[in-house]
Amino acid sequence: MAGPLLRITPEKVIEFPVVLFSSSTVELHLENTADTFVAFKIKTTAPKSYLVRPSTGIIPRGGKEVVHIVLQPLSEEPTRPCSDRFLIQSTAVSSDAPLARDYWQTLDRDRIEDTRLSVVYRTSSSSGDHVGGAMGAADGNGPSSGRGGYGGASSSQGGSYSADLKSRYDQLVEYALALERHKDELVKENEALKAQIGRKGAAQKSGGMGVFELWHIPVYIFIGVVIWYFFGRSAEVTK
What are residue 66's DSSP bridge partners?
29
- State residue 77's pLDDT score: 87
Rounded CA separation 74/120 (Å): 14
Nearest to 12 by CA among 113, 92, 147, 120: 120
CA 157, 158, 164: angle at the middle one, nearest 5?
130
Q: How far apart are CA 116 and CA 129, in angstroms?
A: 24
C-alpha closest to that of 135 among 151, 150, 153, 117: 117
pLDDT confidence of residue 146: 37
Q: What is the DSSP string of 187-225?
A: HHHHHHHHHHHHHHHHHHHHHHHHHHHHHHHHHHHHHHH
> Which residues touch 166 (CB under 8 Å, ≥6 apart)?
48
Ramachandran region of residue 146, left (φ > 0), alpha (ψ -120 to 50) or beta?
left
What's residue 142's pLDDT?
A: 39
Per DSSP, what are the bridge partners of residue 115? Answer: 88
pLDDT at residue 238, rounded to an integer: 54
Q: How many CA atoms lie within 13 A of 36 on its CB side?
A: 15
Q: Where are the domains of the chain?
A: 6-160, 162-239
How far apart, in Å, do the first and last CA atoms of the chain sit?
Answer: 117
In tens digits, what is the pLDDT along the chain, a chain of 239 residues? Answer: 468 999 999 999 999 999 899 999 999 999 999 999 999 999 999 999 999 999 999 999 999 999 999 999 998 888 889 999 999 999 999 999 999 999 999 999 999 999 999 999 998 765 444 343 333 333 444 333 334 466 533 333 444 445 555 556 666 666 666 666 667 677 777 777 778 787 777 766 665 554 455 656 776 787 777 777 666 655 555 55
Q: Is the pTM of this model over 0.85?
A: no
The pLDDT value given to residue 191: 78
What's residue 17's pLDDT? 94
pLDDT reported for residue 228: 73
Tell the CATH topology of 6-160: Immunoglobulin-like (2.60.40)
DSSP characters over 138-190: HS--SPPTT---TTS--GGGGGTS-HHHHHHHHHHHHHHHHHHHHHHHHHHHH
Beta bridge partners of 69: 26, 52
Helix (H) or strand (E) holding 51: strand 50-53
- The confidence score (pLDDT) of residue 110 equals 94
